[in-house]
Chains A and B, each alone.
Chain A
Amino acid sequence: MSSEVDGNALGGDLAEIFAVDLTGAAVTCGGCKTVSAVAALLVWGPAPGLVARCPECEDVVLRLVRAPGQAWLDLRGAVSVRIPLPAPE
C-alpha cells in the first residue's frame, strides 16, 4: 500500500511550524497524557542528544540529535504538539 503523495506534501506545513518558537507549544505526554509547555519539559543533554522528558512522569517526550548538516527529531513519546500560530487576519 502506498500513500497518494510523498513527504514533500508536508513541506509547507512543517516550514510554517518550525519557523515559530516552539517553547510555548503544548505537548501531550504519550505516557501519562499530561499536557505541558515545551518550555516546562525536563531536558538532558545536549550530548549525545537532547532528551526532553515529561515533568510529571519523566517519560521521554522528544529526542533531538544534531549532527553536522542534519538533525533527527523523534516525537514518538508525544501524543500531540499544540502550536500557537498567528490568527488569520
Chain B
Amino acid sequence: MSIISPGFGGRRRSSRPDLPPGQYLTHDFPVLSAGPTPRVPLDRWSFTVTDELGQKTSWNWEEFNALPQEEFTVDIHCVTKWSKLGTTWKGVALDTIFENLESSADYTMVHSYGGYTTNVPVEDLLDGKAWIVHTFDGEPLHPEHGGPARLLVPHLYFWKSAKWVNGLQMIPQDEPGFWEEAGYHMYGDPWREQRYQGD
C-alpha cells in the first residue's frame, strides 16, 4: 500500500484550462437565493456609497444610467461548482463609481435590497475587475438574477456578485457578510478553491 495517495494535496485539474478546479461547465443559468426575490421599481432604485465617515454618495436609476457604460464578456464561477463561460453583460465599472470618492478604506461591505451582504476588498473592485450590471445577454437583468442591478466580480466566486445591489459601505477592516458569517471563505478565489473557511 502506498503511503501517499496519488491525489493527496493536489487540486483536481480540469481538462479545460478556463475551468477552475472542481468546477463543471453549465449552459443554464441556475438561480440560487437566500430569500424572497425583491421587486424594486426603477423610480425607487438607488445605489449609495457610504464612506468610513458616514458620508453618502447616491445615484438614482437615471443618474446611474447616465454614467459611462461598458459591455463585456466574462466567465462566472459559482461555489456550488457550476461555471458559465462567455457571459455578456452591460453596466458601470466600479472604477467609475469610485472616481470622485475619497476613502482610505481597504475593504467594502456590499449591501442589497432584501438584506444580503458580502465583503469584497477595494482592490478587487478596481482596475476593470468589477461592475454594477443591469443587462445580461442584451436583455434587462431579470429579478431572479439580481435585476434591476447586481454587482459582478467575475474573478471571485459568484456569491460575491451580490444580486439586487443597492450600496457599498467602505470599511477599514475586513468583516464577514451573509455567507461568510456562516462558513464561507472571506475572499473566495475560485482558482484557489476558497469555498469554505480554512480552504
Contact = CB atoms under 8 A, between A and B. Distances in A.
B82 to A, nearest CB: 10
B35 A49 contact: no
Bin the interface of chain B by size. 10 to 19
Contact of A67 (B34, B36, B181, B195): B195
B187 interface: no
B33 A49 contact: no
Contacts of A47: 32, 79-80
Interface residues of A, number: 17
B196 interface: yes
Q: Is the interface of B mostly helix, strand, loop or mixed?
A: loop
B13 to A, nearest CB: 19
Contacts of B196: 65, 67, 70
A71 B35 CA distance: 20
B184 interface: yes
Nearest to B82: A47
A47 B80 CA distance: 7
